[in-house]
Amino acid sequence: MSPSAGGGSDPDDFDPHDLEPGDFRDEVYSFEFWFQAVDGYLAERPYGHRVGISEPALDPVRREALITTLCNYCVGETAALEGASGMVEFAPNRHAKIFLATQVADEARHLEVFLRRLIDLGVEDPEAEIASRANPSLLRFKERLLEFVAGRDWDAAVFAQNVVLETMENTAFRAHETTADPITAEILDGVIKDERRHLGFGENDLGARLMRDPGVRTRLTEIRAELDPLVLGTFEAAMGDLGAEADRRTALGRDYLTAIERLGLA
């Protein structure tokens, strides 16, 4: 299973961005490429982390905060799992279907590793805990995403799922990784690597259409205006759970907005 399987070049020199657009899709949006990507950072890491790391002694307040945070990660990952799986059927081509299938497995893995972490922290019924600790802004975001998916609205669904949700998760996970206990940090590290791939798909898919069609830009700008408050509300609550200072909360929101603006949606 090698990304150069079809190309015959030296894998060390392989850069998919050197490929023509059609060949890029064949290469990058494939099971083969996915496997090559994840194998490097998932091998020897059952449930997302190395076996030898000892469980840190967390004080009760920090443990509670971590449980709430992980519960909300599970809400986000469930939204992503249901969103990506629902999009497979109306994806516009085979490459997008296969890429989304790899994303479905990624999101399910994220859900699994976060659920496992909750169990390791002593949570007996994670599903009940998630239901009681879920952030209302995040639940509303999930609801809206699944409405786009149910409506088979490809542009809106890719934007909400592979740009907004992935950027929100990427921003939150990166911030959390810097302060997390070693096990949680290692789990987040693997998840972040997956999210980058998903975000890349969203940017590539929408980027070309944004340049071609001003109508798409107008529409996505409107959707962004609707979703941004839900994302920022989620951040605010999440940072409160983690006891973060005000300037760190502001920085997180700013990081998210900067990442979204890379697509040129002011």
Looking at the Cβ atoms of 77 and 155, the one nearer to another protein is 77
Least Cα distance to 117 among 77, 162, 167, 168 occurs for: 77
- Cβ closest to another protein, residue 82 vs residue 236: 82
CB-nearer residue toward another protein: 75 or 163: 75
Rounded Cα distance, 51 and 40, in Å: 16
* Smallest separation (angstroms) from another protein to the CB of 5: 4
- What contacts 161, CB < 8 A, 6 or more positions away? 80, 83, 84, 87, 145, 148, 149, 202
- Whether 117 and 184 have beta carbons less than 8 Å apart is answered as yes
Q: Where does this chain bind another protein (CB under 8 A)?
A: 1-2, 5, 22, 26, 30-32, 34-35, 38-39, 42-43, 46-47, 78, 81-82, 85-86, 88-89, 94, 97-98, 100-102, 104-105, 107-109, 111-112, 115, 127, 146
**From the CB of 11, what's the least distance to another protein, in Å?**
12
**Closer residue to another protein (CB): 58 or 88:** 88
- How many alpha carbons lie under 13 Å from residue 83 in its C-beta half-sphere? 32
| Cβ neighbours for 5, distance < 8 A, ≥ 6 positions apart | 32
Q: Tell the smallest beta-carbon distance from residue 263 to another protein (Å).
A: 26
**Which CB atom, from 128 or from 211, has the smaller least distance to another protein?**
128
The alpha-carbon radius of gyration of the chain (Å, integer) is 19
Shortest Cβ distance from residue 179 to another protein (Å)? 26
**Quick one: which of 151, 174, 167 has its CA closest to 199?**
167
Q: Which is nearer to another protein, 44 or 59 (CB)?
A: 44
The nearest distance, CB 30 to another protein, in angstroms, is: 6
Output the six-digit token pair for 40: 């490097």
Q: Which of 142/217 has CB closer to another protein?
A: 142
- Cβ at position 8, least distance to another protein in Å: 10
Token reading at 101: 């299938």
Q: Which residue reads 């079809």 in tokens?
A: 6
Nearest to 233 by CA among 149, 147, 144, 139: 139
| Nearest distance, CB of residue 124 and another protein, angstroms | 12
Q: What type of residue is 137?
A: S
Find where tokens 């592979």 sit: 162
Beta strands in 159-249 (DSSP E): none
